[in-house]
Amino acid sequence: MARNLSNDALNKITERLGNEPVTIIEVDWIDGDAPLSYADRTVGSIPGRILEVGSLDNVINVSGNADSQQLAVTLDDSDGSIKTILDSHDVHQRDVRVFQYFDGLDLSDKFLLFRGKISSPVVWSEGDRTVSLDIISQIEDAEIGFSPEEGQFDSIPEDLIGRPWPMCFGTCVHVEGVPLNEPAAGTLASGVGIIDFLLPHRMFAINRILAYINEQIGDWLDANGFWSVSEAAASGDEELKKQLEGFMANKDRFEQKKSEVLNVLTDQARTIVANFGTGDGWSTYSVTAQFTTFRVFGGEEFPRGTITLDINGAKFTGSFLGETDEFSVQSSEHPRRGEPLVTPRADGTNFPGGPFGFNRFVPNGNVTGDTAGYFFADSGAQVRVATVEPQRFVASITPGTVKRVKAFIQSAGRRFLIDVPEDFYTVTTEQYGSVTATMVTLNDALSKRTDLSWDDQVYITFQGTVGPNTVDVMEYLIQQNTDFDTDATSFNSVRARLANYPSHFALTDRKQILQALEEIAFQARCATVLKDNTFHLRYLPAEPTPADTITESDIEVGTFELQHTTTEDLVTKLIARWRATGAQEEDNQVILRHNVRKYGTKEREFDFYIYNKLDMVLKSATFWLIRYSNTWKKARFSTPLHKLNLETFDAVTLDFNSPYVADSDVLALVEKADYNSDSRSIDFECWTPVKAGQMEPYDFAYPADVSQELRFPTPVEEEEEFDGGTGIGRDATGALPIRYDLRRGVRVEYDGNPDPFGFEAAKRSTSDRGDPKPSDAGDQDPGKPVVGEAVTYDERLPGIDTPTFENTGFYQIAEPTLIDIATTKIIDSRDPGGDSNSITTFSTFFAEISGSRLKMATDATVVDADDRDVQGTFDFKYDADTEQFGAGTAFLQDD
Amino acid sequence: MIELAAPHPAIQTVTLLPNPQFGDGESETCEVATKRAMDGTLYTYVKSKAGRRRLTLPLNLSRMKALELRAFIQSYFASRVRLTDHLDQVWVGHFTCNPFEFSTPKRAGGWPGGEMQTIQLEFQGVKQ
């Protein structure tokens, strides 16, 4: 990644004597115009108007995986040409290129020192007639992703403003879908009720019984020659009086029942908000609503116009008044309406012979049927919209496929994430201008379902077409969000390196692109370098190829210093936070300790959000633990300009005759390369893989390609107890209860090698010692997250309920009914009010019961079936020969 | 005698000044930087400044002449100036002193204005 110099330029910078460097600056003052060039002395047509060029500071950031450059320049503006530009154009953030040229070269051999943008302060001085400005490599860059306020939408709900839509890479497990709408929900501000709609029918049934009783009493009065009940009561006939009291007791009892039902209905009517009316074809019952409106806390969020609300299963149709939370009710529906309830009715028997040919109904005094119960929702009850409310969720704005949709249900005080049945939702792709979003639309809000206690929020497993190789993800982000190029060579090289460490994640923050790239690169153990509008990538665990060699002949006398990484930057307790799924309430952690005994506990947290598998997190975290928990030697020196080909992130071989750094040559990494054009020197600061107090490079400084047999921490480190922490439990052992992390949703199963990096085999997956094998050798592809088959709550249909088995016992032999057929008085209930001769006994027809037979008397009266007036006894004649009766009249006629 | 003419090359104004006082100077503006490596290797870098030289001209002027020079400077300090020195060498370049400081060290009987003023002009230019 060293600077790209032409051969002539390379040869020129190596000339030791008499070289004349010239700094040339190209400024794109005006968008679309040709750039203007300035030099620190006139070169051809380029005017010598650079009065002052500060030190070009090029330095790697603290985390060591990105760099920045900065330069201050003062230009002569004695002719006022730059002031003229400043008067009519905002030059901030305009591109500037800083070139190095050497006298004697062709102008085309000038080479780029750095490309940046004009940054404040931009100062024009009237007294000096100068313009001074800062140039910074890359500052205020672009936000990645999308949130609705960035578009041109008519109206955006407040909670969606600034809420990014997910960008899914690889197979993202349980990404929290971004709800574009939400079901209306409110709280009842006052109690509302609905009458038990079956009570009027019960009242109608009682009325029918009462009508029959009244009819009976009338007939009885007629039969006994009374005009009124009072007359009958005063008749003095004790027998009749008892009969009348029986009739009146029945009547009072049902009048009382009717009154009770009416009282209940009246009480129930006190809280209803809609008129009630019903009838049975003969009678009607109606009640005027006591209230016509009720308030709903949160009602302002409900749709306007006529809607139906669901309150604890009851339906209230009406509309909210204006923009208020007051709901005006037009009609209501009891929650049990529609259930197979039996409408109350009077039980009894229909007999033929009623007036006008109708059957005659004789009730038995029972009212059969159900009650629906009074519905009442007290204030505080939840209010929902009864009609369907399709819910739309954004799954991802990166391309891919929705594999699963899940949601939480509540049960027994715990939450369970279960699959949402596929027929509950549809997946679509929506185009919002340049944004393509994959959407999941639920047919209705899950929380309105009554089968399970669902949450509305859904979690989506999304298989993106971008990723899971982290380099693919970074390349996609660069292409989507910047005008910069990617260096194919370095990207391809790192892509191969990261093949075994896939990243499956969703970006749910709108980060700056450079910040996002730095974070992703850090987690993947990489470094991004932006040079000349091109991103380069470096795989940090791999030993870099040296770009040059530094010897004593390159270093200005008196400038070499041996330094160390700072104590402030030490991290001996590294906490890596990560998430297996997007549905986790809390992050998982990997906690690693190293060199605590040497440096004390210096804690720092890192968010490894690109990985959803412990193995990858542990791999990366261990690499950074090694880098951060040790003090490394750093070489600081200045060279003349012949090392202008080097820049940050270049590797150089420090080849000294004396063991300044180590006993052997050392492959160092340029962390800082400040070019001072005034003093014609470059100030270098190089990180070396040599630990403080040692004279040999550390094996795991560049661990990727070391032998997989090497173990971390090293035996020496273990012997000195630099591994792990220093707490009382550093040697604790034993067995802890097994927890099923997979079921708890904090682990994701992969379909590849179950132990791709050998952690389980080494029993080190959760130890604070870290990855025992920092080498990449022997690592295998873990595969991708397992999606599996959907298992929904109704996967197995229930069988039938166990019926109620009645305890019938043995069949009982009926006891004979004992009556005296000679004295037991009977009366025809069809005509109880007939003449007084209607009362009789069975003996007027039957003679006796003997020989298991009921025997008829020959003096029984027979009635003609067609003409009831024709009555008389039958002329029986007994035939002794046949021992049978015959018709004596017929015998006579035959005779 | 020194002649100042500006703006160069479309001359509009010429002013004549007396010869500079003893102690005037002419020097190079180019620079040479030397670097010595740990093993003694020598590196040198030059900055040629395109042949520019620096003239230092201490002048004693009458009050009237000083006012004339001041007016000339105010008009043309940002312009290229042609300077013909007391050795009849012609230079084209710019004044580089800033500010232009006139001092009045003593009275001068018989001089126009009755006072003597001094100024040290610094000029960088290329010899024609």
Task: Tell me the per-residue pLDDT of A130-151, one tens digit each, with 9 for 90 and over.
Answer: 999 998 876 557 889 999 998 8
Q: Which neighbouring-strand residues pair with A100?
A: A23, A111
Contact call for A129 and B39, based on CB within 8 A: no
pLDDT at A1 > cutoff 70: no
How does DSSP classify residue A543?
Answer: P
Q: Which residues of B touch A20 (CB under 8 A)?
A: 45-48
Average pLDDT over residues A378-404: 92
Taking the CA of residue B11 and the nearest CA in chain A, the distance in Å comes to 17
- pLDDT tens for A764-782 read 667 888 888 899 998 999 9
In whole angstroms, give the CA distance from residue B68 to residue B83.
16
Q: Quick check: helix, strand or coil at residue A783?
A: coil
pLDDT the model gives residue A523: 96
In whole angstroms, give the CA distance from residue A504 to residue A400.
13
Closest among A532, A434, A429 to A480, alpha carbons compared: A434
Residues of A with CB under 8 A from a CB of B: 16-21, 40-42, 48, 78-79, 103, 128-129, 551-557, 560, 640-642, 679-681
- Find out whether A418 and A369 touch, Cβ atoms under 8 Å: no
pLDDT at B11 > cutoff 80: yes
How does DSSP classify residue A19?
Answer: B
How does DSSP classify residue B69?
Answer: H
Between A17, A41, A79, which is nearest B50 by CB?
A41
Closest among A431, A407, A452 to A179, alpha carbons compared: A407
ipTM value for the complex: 0.71
pLDDT at A65 > cutoff 70: no
How does DSSP classify residue A636?
Answer: E
Alpha helices in A574-714 (DSSP H): 596-599, 614-628
Kind and range of the H or E element at A513? Answer: helix A513-523
In whole angstroms, give the CA distance from residue A427 to residue A446.
16
- Non-local CB neighbours of A792 within 8 Å, separated by 6+ positions: A418, A419, A420, A421
pLDDT the model gives residue A442: 94
Average pLDDT, chain A: 87
Q: Which residues of B touch A78 (CB under 8 A)?
A: 78, 94
Least confident of A265-279, A430-444, A618-632: A265-279
Q: Which neighbouring-strand residues pair with B58?
A: B120
- The secondary structure of A265-311 as a DSSP string is HHHHGGGBSS-EEEE-SS-EEEE--S-SEEEEETGGGSPPSEEEEEE
pLDDT the model gives residue A489: 93
In whole angstroms, give the CA distance from residue A239 to residue A244.
9
- Find out whether A183 and A384 touch, Cβ atoms under 8 Å: yes
- Non-local CB neighbours of B5 within 8 Å, separated by 6+ positions: B11, B13, B14, B15, B81, B82, B83, B84
Q: Is B50 on the interface with A (CB under 8 A)?
A: yes
Contact call for A20 and B43, based on CB within 8 A: no
The pair of structure tokens assigned to A581 is: 């799924």
- Find out whether A164 and A146 touch, Cβ atoms under 8 Å: yes
Q: Which neighbouring-strand residues pair with B14?
A: B5
- Find out whether A103 and A125 touch, Cβ atoms under 8 Å: no
pLDDT at A826 > cutoff 60: yes
In whole angstroms, give the CA distance from residue B45 to residue A589.
56
In whole angstroms, give the CA distance from residue B8 to residue A281.
119
pLDDT at B108 > cutoff 90: no
In whole angstroms, give the CA distance from residue A199 to residue A202.
5
pLDDT the model gives residue A765: 65
Contact call for B37 and A17, based on CB within 8 A: no
Q: Which residues of A touch B98 (CB under 8 A)?
A: 128
For A648, other C-beta atoms within 10 Å of its C-beta total 23
Q: Which neighbouring-strand residues pair with A53?
A: A73
Closest among A677, A779, A716, A715 to A52, alpha carbons compared: A677
pLDDT the model gives residue A224: 84
In whole angstroms, give the CA distance from residue A318 to residue A385.
11
Measured at the CA of A350, the angle between CA A344 and CA A351, to 5 degrees, comes to 165
In whole angstroms, give the CA distance from residue A4 to residue A487.
13
* Neighbour-count burial for A824-855, b at 16+ CB within 10 Å, e otherwise: eeeeeeeebbeeeeeeeebeeeebeeeeeeee
Average pLDDT over residues A62-73: 71
Q: Quick check: helix, strand or coil at residue A381?
A: coil
- Find out whether A123 and A145 touch, Cβ atoms under 8 Å: no
Between A129, A552, A680, which is nearest B38 by CB?
A552
Q: Which residues of B touch A79 (CB under 8 A)?
A: 78
Phi, psi of B53 (to 5 degrees): -125, 160
Q: Which residues of B touch A641 (CB under 8 A)?
A: 43, 45
- The nearest alpha carbon in chain A to B49 belongs to A41
Q: Which neighbouring-strand residues pair with A783?
A: none
In whole angstroms, give the CA distance from residue A56 to residue A35.
21
Residue found under tokens 């109708």:
A358
From chain B residues 2-21, the ones with a CB under 8 A of any chain A CB are: none
pLDDT at A360 > cutoff 80: no
pLDDT at A206 > cutoff 80: yes
Best A556, A657, A682 member to test B by mutation, with max B CBs in 10 Å, is A556
Closest among A511, A502, A504, A470 to A582, alpha carbons compared: A504
pLDDT at A177 > cutoff 90: yes
For A818, other C-beta atoms within 10 Å of its C-beta total 6
Least confident of A190-204, A298-312, A359-373, A530-544: A359-373
How does DSSP classify residue A107?
Answer: G
Phi, psi of A478 (to 5 degrees): -65, -45
Closest among B121, B104, B115, B126 to B24, alpha carbons compared: B121
In whole angstroms, give the CA distance from residue A502 to residue A599.
34
For A584, other C-beta atoms within 10 Å of its C-beta total 17
Contact call for B50 and A42, based on CB within 8 A: yes
Closest among A122, A33, A30 to A74, alpha carbons compared: A122
pLDDT at A573 > cutoff 80: yes
pLDDT the model gives residue A348: 83
**For strand A485-486 and strand A534-539, is the pairing parallel, antiparallel, or unpaired?**
parallel
Q: Quick check: helix, strand or coil at residue A369?
A: coil
Strand order in the sheet with A435-442: A178-179, A391-396, A435-442, A425-432
In whole angstroms, give the CA distance from residue A459 to residue A408.
9
In whole angstroms, give the CA distance from residue A850 to residue A572.
113
pLDDT at A895 > cutoff 50: no
Q: pLDDT tier at A620 (50, 70, 90 boundaries)?
A: very high
pLDDT the model gives residue A15: 86
Least confident of A281-285, A356-360, B110-114: A356-360
In whole angstroms, give the CA distance from residue A455 to residue A742.
21
Phi, psi of A627 (to 5 degrees): -65, -40
Which range among A94-108, A152-166, A868-882, B79-93 has the greatest average pLDDT? B79-93
From chain B residues 54-113, the ones with a CB under 8 A of any chain A CB are: 78, 94, 98
The pair of structure tokens assigned to A411 is: 């049960």
- pLDDT tens for A471-492 read 999 999 999 888 889 999 999 9
